[in-house]
Structure 1
Amino acid sequence: MEFLRAERGVTESEIDEIEMELALSFPESLRELYKNHNGSEPEPYVYENPELQISTVVSRILPLISEKGAGTAITSYNILIRDRRLAPQHFFPFAVDSGGDYFLMNTQTGNVFFLRSDNFPEVEVVSLGLTLDSFWQALTDE
């Protein structure tokens, strides 16, 4: 597993500040992701789960902080969770697929979910039954 084209890593104090601002507590795996691979592209990047009828490409990890002007995970959180209320407040978007659907982490359990919007305006939040580490291990080449 590699993470390519990352932005600068986020510091512990920056993560602490963001957690306070959002009233969330990130699991250690998510904190490590942002410290080491903020805004990067995973390689391999294909996620398939025939049981859940999901076949998609993880385009990038949403940066927590971006110095390149990229849309951030915080902006996505505010739009998806706070404004549109598409998932519970303790779910945090950490990655996006090529179609604009999001991968979310339940910050209380560390489990990964997929926010599917194929039938927008109806959306579906699907549990992948994976932790963040097992999610990265589940990605394959095309």
Structure 2
Amino acid sequence: MADFGDLEQALGYLLPESFKQHYIRYNGGAPSDTQVPGDDAWEPTEVAMFYSIKHPLPGQDSTSEMLNHFQAMRAKRVIPDFFLPFAWDPGGNFFGLDLRDEGVAYYATDVFDPALSQAENYKKAQRHVARSFEHFLEILEPNPDASW
């Protein structure tokens, strides 16, 4: 659990228990059910892979793939400080935890509009997908288009 303490300290937020339990068991990787259902405004999306929390990373300041990605994206101001990417889709967009309320959002990184403010871009890029990490895992379903 020290890995979680290090990550929580760097984030300035405590992680939900369901999130910790998932990472204790899997520490990242590919889920068996990959599709996040769509809604009236968004097409279904797919989880390609979960970031690891503890994994040797050559040439990095941290052994946490998740923390390294969070810090890099935050430094570039691609994501707000309260958004922790924990997975990505095949196009490089993120699924992440809103550290303020523990909800899960899909974050499209390719919709940045230079005419909008940073806050407006953050809002435009996000799609709320689940009320919690546990709920996110529950709504994942098999992808009918998967070829494997």
Matches within 5 A, 1:69-80: 72-80=65-73
The number of aligned residues is 130
8 Å CA contact retained: 2:19, 2:134: no
- The amino acid that maps onto 2:80 is P
Aligned twin of 1:6: none
Matches within 5 A, 1:1-142: 12-67=1-56, 72-80=65-73, 82-120=74-112, 124-141=125-142, 142=144
- The amino acid that maps onto 2:131 is L
Alpha-carbon distance in 2 for matches of 1:119, 1:91: 17
5+ residue gaps, structure 2, are: 115-120
Q: Would you tell me which structure has more strand in proportion to its own residues? A: 1
Aligned twin of 1:8: none
Query: Which structure has the bigger radius of gyration?
Result: 2
The worse-fitting range, judged by mean Cα deviation, of 36-45 and 46-55 is 46-55
Superposition CA RMSD, Å: 2.3
Alignment CA distance shift 1:71-1:65 (3 Å): closer
Alpha-carbon distance in 2 for matches of 1:65, 1:121: 34
8 Å CA contact retained: 1:46, 1:56: yes
Alpha-carbon distance in 1 for matches of 2:36, 2:104: 12
Cα deviation digits, residues 58-93 of structure 1 (max 9, x gap): 01111112237698111210122x212233312211
